[in-house]
Structure 1
Amino acid sequence: MKTFFTKPLFAIAVLFLSENSSAQIFSDFIYKGNDKIYVENPLKENEFYSPVLQGCYPDPSITRKGNDYYLVNSSFSMFPGVPVFHSNDLVNWRQIGHVLDRPSQLKVEKAGFSEGIYAPDIKYNPYNDTFYMVTTQIASGIGNMIVKTKDPEKGWSEVQKLNFDGIDPSIFFDDNGKAYIVHNDAPPKGTEQYSGHRVIKIWDYDLEKDQVVAGTDKIIVNGGVDITQKPIWIEGPHLYKKDGKYFLMCAEGGTGGNHSEVIFMSDHPKGPFVPAANNPILTQRYFPKDRKDKVDWAGHADLVETPDGKYYGVFLGIRPNEKNRVNTGRETFILPVDWSGTYPVFQNGLVPMKPKLKMPDGAKNQTGQNGFFPNGNFTFNDHLKNSQLDFRWIAMRGARENFISSTKNGLKINPFTTNIKAKAPVSALFHRQQHASFEATVSLDFKPKSEKELAGITCYQSENSNYVFGLTKKEKDFYLVLARTEKGNSTLVSSEKITLSKNIRLQVMAEEDNYQFRYSVDGKNFHNLGGKVSGDILSTDVAGGFTGSLIGLYATSSNDIQP
């Protein structure tokens, strides 16, 4: 069985590494989820949980080759970019790598956290036995781009820049061998009718040149289902063909409380497209805001047909905490799709969603086993002493190998001269927050030499919104500090002088919106620093952007948090 592992670790010297900093060794990381929804809804033998990917795995796209399904997500400025998952049954997913795993493919060094990679689309073309991934890279002037491979597990090509503006491209392979790209764009200059007015365009795509054919672009949707109602942000388009008809599925309403999925039909890939009378085919916007086990913002979907002719749809949704905040970000959900009529409809996608689904025929739930991604209230243990790193660990704006190295005692982070607030690569290794209530604990072997050195844990929503809980020095004494950064401005929450004799255990705990930062010098008894603090700045509705919160193992030689 394949596991989540990636290439062996090795340290690479870079210009902004600190040359004389202390060793910072992290080991024995434990992440444990404790959400009420899973306690109150235990699985039966024939059930599985949705979302299938918890935490910040937004904008899912899916494709199939034979019995193999592949799924990708947006990754913004995370590095490596575009996580790719494999499944044989749509329930059990194994991460097999990242599509954009090289600096030559992903140029996000100066990108904000919610910039970078938007809305990837993955599709398999049976005519040339090739997988394609098309996306928008909001960084370094790349814009819309495409990469391809014969095997998603064995690496992807270099980037081919595509010659059109807009965002959210996806590729469609017709059964006559032709290819097309559809995407979101601004309306023609001078025709914009209202804020949020967008259009969907289609282009012929040349498979030999891997480029759109100049002059073939055509607007196939203007505004949305009904432009007289001023619909906003028609986007995330996907084109399908069934029974000789072409179907265009798009998100509409913006990624928020009005998000939805809508469908159009045509006799030709370039239209005219007629919207279904029963639109939307997926949304959660019509229900009471205080409903139990709330799922919201559902949309940005993609469909896949199973080998036996059934359909499923993957889509993003959020599960806000008790204060209606979105710390876990937009997650990947799945629902069966009924396409027995003219148009597809997400089954139970127009009623309040439930946390459990019935297993597809022949599937067995192997969550967390045999290398499959866990869901529910799982525990993830990583001693950080292996020469290979789990795929779930990601960096920000640059390769992990630029600042980490493997030792027999744990993972060494070689600190950069940037700190966590920099819009630049930072020396932190991140794991997604995947539950509203959780605890994450790590051992740290570190004795700072000066007040400029710090190592510890960060809870990170962006460079402008984060907490840092770490060990530093003031004069001859060692201190633990807790700082809150909001809108780029940092405030010391609390500090405490401590005596260091051996490794210190650092822990962050969350119960919905209440976060606590704790430490132990004996490995058994934990002490709180700073009391309970709000997770508000780790939420999309406060911090802005499109991401969920990350938990980082962090070191810097440019610490500006003073006890």
Structure 2
Amino acid sequence: MKNFQFPFLTKGQMLLFGAAMTLFAGVDAQSNAKKGKPGTNVPVFSKVEYKGDDQVYKDFPLKADEFYNPILQGCYPDPAITRKGDDYYLVCSTFAIFPGVPIFHSKDLVNWTQIGHVLDRPSQLKVHDTGISAGVYAPAIKYNRNNDTFYMITTQFAGGFGNIVVKTQDPLKGWSDPYKLKFEGIDPSMFFDEDGKAYVVHNDAPDKGTELYNGHRVIKIWEYDLANDQVIAGTDQIIVNGGTDINKKPIWIEAPHIYKKNGRYYLMCAEGGTGGWHSEVIFVSDSPKGPYVPAPNNPILSQRYLNNHRANKVDWAGHADLVEGPDGKYYGVFLAIRPNNNNQVNIGRETFILPVDWSGEFPVFENGLIPMEPKLKMPKGVVNKTGQDGFFPNGNFTFTDNFNNPKLDYRWVGLRGPREAFVSVVKNGLQISPFAVNIKEVKPTSTLFYRQQHSNFSFTTAMSYQPSSENDLAGLVCLQSEKFNYVFGLTKKGKDTYVVLQRTEKGTSKIIASAQVAVKGAVSLQVKAEGDKYQFAYSLDGDNYLNVGGIVSGDILSTNVAGGFTGSMIGLYATSVNDAKPE
């Protein structure tokens, strides 16, 4: 499997990914909304229904003491976790999604509630001019009991930030503005020792002139000044060079975390890149600053050695974090993927969990080196409430939203800019004020996204909309990136209204099909997928659907074809600079 890790890791290369503020510096999504101020043709969406229908959940129904893995389906990659008392908090990468870094809460590691986003305002998240796979990478969340403070540290390839940290004493009450940290590299994490000292570890390039091969990386550690929220200059040192055995040329040692157990320090890292050779490895030392010795049984988690044609395949496992569970046992959260029937990764990298055996010197993920099962035994005394009482659903489920709550569900996200810049809840649903921005532009778009969470799914919405000209379009978008997507919606050709389906691959668009429609009221739009087979349809009565374009391939919605780090997302989309013109 191709390794999709990007090689931009120096400050200069970060700038090439739009990290520097350009001519648009200081222009936030609100001013973009003013530029794209609409006329009267503003779409109103209602009756959204997303329904998952994967066969694996039919074949493996849950027993009373079981729960499904992954715990977070869809594009929730690079999980990190921390604990304060009986409360667990988990965060994930979001790249150019806005708001950024969803944060989840649990009491038992099975039932999770999303309580918001860590980076939820423009002062924290400046991704307005960057590609979808730049932005926020690999957040780590740590609780420091010495000062009763939570820290979220991450790399933001945008807005001139680089590595940043934000903090709070209560994750329910919001997070500080970022403190910009003075080091390069990616994937920072923090460690707070019992003596009150703090440290930052991260991935970096080898010292200049010492790189031995492509993918050669190092892990560095710094002492951290808690009073000034900054690494202490001159304290940095390399604690891992290359990986577990540099003679074997290991690639992409990254995502480090330090843990302390029985007076010793354990450094856990991902190794092999975030593709088919991904794994998790562990080292030990008598000091937080090393030297660190690799465990003899590495890797402690990987799916890379297994039959590529195994049933219910889970792959790319790695990028993990450990926490002690409510039962006194350790657990590890990590990313992995579930490819579709064409071995394509459309859903993206998801958050999984496994129990960890740490009865010996080194932790080992239980059943982490054999084919993963779709369900697990719950910790003793836990009741599975997923999908109920506000807890995140998993398995096959239906998500519905009539937009009758003035506060949007946290699962609805924007791209590069705040949702509040273009959405408003009105009497009959959700109104999207179209920007003068096309979905292919690297700017904030007037699109409200929901993550694809199953290989087999349907997504349906009712839309009230009358386009005024061929420049106006509203409808659905299935998006992997600005260069790979489908647009399906209503627009104008002359005096007539048309439904149109456009495919964009490598930034080049073509019309798959279009049809004249006589829209008098709301029109229902639908996308359905069975693995690689996607279909788009519309209905004028809400019951009888007419297909547009036949069966089309979902290949462009996969990481295999589009590259990058995100999964496919389904959006409610509006624009006043439409280029999907009916034929």
TM-score (ref. length: structure 2):
0.94
Q: Which residue of 2 aligns with 1:148?
A: 167
The one-character-per-residue Cα deviations of 1:495-547 (angstroms, maximum 9, x if unpaired) are 00010111000000000000000110011101100000000000001000000
> Which residue of 2 is the match for residue 177 of structure 1?
196
Q: Distance in 2 between matches of 1:413 and 1:359?
A: 42
1:11 positional shift: 8.7
- Which residue of 151, 157, 174 corresponds with 1:132? 151
Deviation of the 1:20 alpha carbon: 2.0
Q: Is the aligned partner of 1:65 residue 2:112?
A: no
- Residues 546, 13 of structure 1: alpha-carbon distance in 2 compared, 3 angstrom cutoff: closer
Could you tell me how far apart the structure 2 residues matched to 1:516 and 1:371 are?
31
* Pairs within 5 Å for 1:487-506: 487-506=506-525
Cα 1:525/1:400, change in 2 over 3 Å: same
Q: Secondary structure at the match of 2:58?
A: helix
Quick one: which of 179, 182, 196 aligns to 1:163? 182
Q: Which amino acid aligns with 1:324?
A: N
Distance in 2 separating the partners of 1:256 and 1:547: 13
TM-aligned CA deviation for residue 13 of structure 1: 7.8
Q: What are the superposed Cα offsets for residues 318-341 of structure 1, whole Å, 9 maximum, x if unpaired?
A: 000011000000000000000000
What letter corresponds to residue 145 of structure 2 in structure 1? P
In 2, distance between residues paired with 1:305 and 1:385? 40
What residue in structure 2 maps to residue 3 of structure 1?
none
Tell me the SS of whatever aligns to 1:219: strand
**Which 5+ residue runs of structure 2 have no aligned equivalent?**
1-28
Matched, 1:322 2:338: no
Which of 321, 327, 345 is residue 364 of structure 2 equivalent to? 345
1:453 lines up with 2:485 in the alignment = no
Using the alignment, how far apart are the partners of 2:301 and 2:223 within structure 1?
Answer: 29
Q: Give the distance between the partners of 2:379 and 2:441, measured in 1 at CA.
A: 46
Q: For 1:525, what is the secondary structure of its paired residue? A: coil
Moved more, 399-408 or 299-308: 299-308
1:276 and 2:295 correspond = yes
Could you tell me how far apart the structure 2 residues matched to 1:385 and 1:245 are? 53
Encode CA deviations 1:45-85: one digit per residue, 9 max, x unaligned.
00000100000000000000000000000000000000000
Are residues 284 and 452 of structure 1, via their aligned partners in 2, closer, same or farther at CA, if it must alter by over 3 Å? same
Q: 2:380 aligns with which of 346, 355, 361?
A: 361
Are residue 198 (structure 1) and residue 217 (structure 2) matched?
A: yes
Tell me what 2:260 maps to. Answer: 241
> Is the Cα contact below 8 Å between 1:517 and 1:530 reproduced in 2?
yes
State the match for 2:430 in structure 1. Answer: 411
| 1:387-536 equivalence runs, <5 A | 387-536=406-555
Letter in 1 for 2:394: N
Distance in 1 (CA, whole Å) between partners of 2:404 and 2:527 is 21
3-state DSSP of counterpart to 1:283:
coil
Q: Report how far residue 362 of structure 1 moved.
A: 1.2
Q: Which amino acid aligns with 2:285?
A: S
Secondary structure of 2:446's counterpart equals strand
Q: 1: CA distance between counterparts of 2:462 and 2:62?
A: 33
Q: Is the 8 A contact 1:11 1:404 kept in 2?
A: no
- Please give the alpha-carbon distance, in whole angstroms, between the structure 2 residues aligned to 1:19 and 1:415: 6
- Residue of structure 1 equivalent to 2:65: 46
Match 2:127 to one of 100, 108, 112: 108
Partner of 2:561: 542
Question: Which amino acid counterpart does residue 485 of structure 1 have in structure 2?
Answer: T
What is the rounded CA distance, in whole Å, between the counterparts of 1:23 and 1:279 in structure 2? 56
Counterparts of 1:532 and 1:491 in 2: how far apart (Å)? 16
Q: Tell me the secondary structure at the aligned position of residue 61 of structure 2.
A: coil
Q: Distance in 2 between matches of 1:36 and 1:13?
A: 43
1:217 alignment partner in structure 2: 236
Specify the code of the residue in structure 1 equivalent to 2:201.
Answer: V
Q: Does 1:267 align with 2:286?
A: yes
Q: Note the C-alpha offset of 1:12.
A: 8.2
- Secondary structure (helix, strand or coil) at the match of 1:15 reads helix
C-alpha root-mean-square deviation of aligned residues, in Å? 1.0
CA offset at residue 307 of structure 1? 4.5
C-alpha distance in structure 1 between counterparts of 2:75 and 2:30, whole Å:
28
Q: Figure out how many residues of one structure are paired with residues of the other and give that number.
A: 554
Query: CA–CA distance in 2 between the matches of 1:15 and 1:185?
Result: 41
CA contact (8 A) 1:12 1:401 kept: no
Preserved contact between residue 450 and residue 474 of structure 1 (Cα < 8 Å) = yes
Report the equivalent of 2:350: 331
Matched AA of 1:56: C
| Deviation digits for residues 381-431 of structure 1 (CA, Å, limit 9, x no counterpart) | 000232110000000000000011110101000000001001000000000
The equivalent residue for 1:6 is none
Q: Distance in 2 between matches of 1:153 and 1:336?
A: 27
- Whether the 8 Å contact between 1:17 and 1:403 is mirrored in structure 2 is no
Q: Distance in 1 between matches of 2:238 and 2:31?
A: 47
TM-score of the pair, normalised by structure 1: 0.97
User: What residue is the counterpart of 1:86 in the other structure?
Assistant: 105
For 2:74 and 2:35, how far apart are their aligned partners in 1? 31
Counterpart secondary structure, 2:580? coil
Paired residues for 1:365-380 under 5 Å: 365-380=384-399
Q: Tell me which amino acid in the other structure corresponds to 2:527.
A: V
CA distance in 2 between partners of 1:553 and 1:15 (Å): 20
The percentage of counterpart residues that share the same residue type is: 67
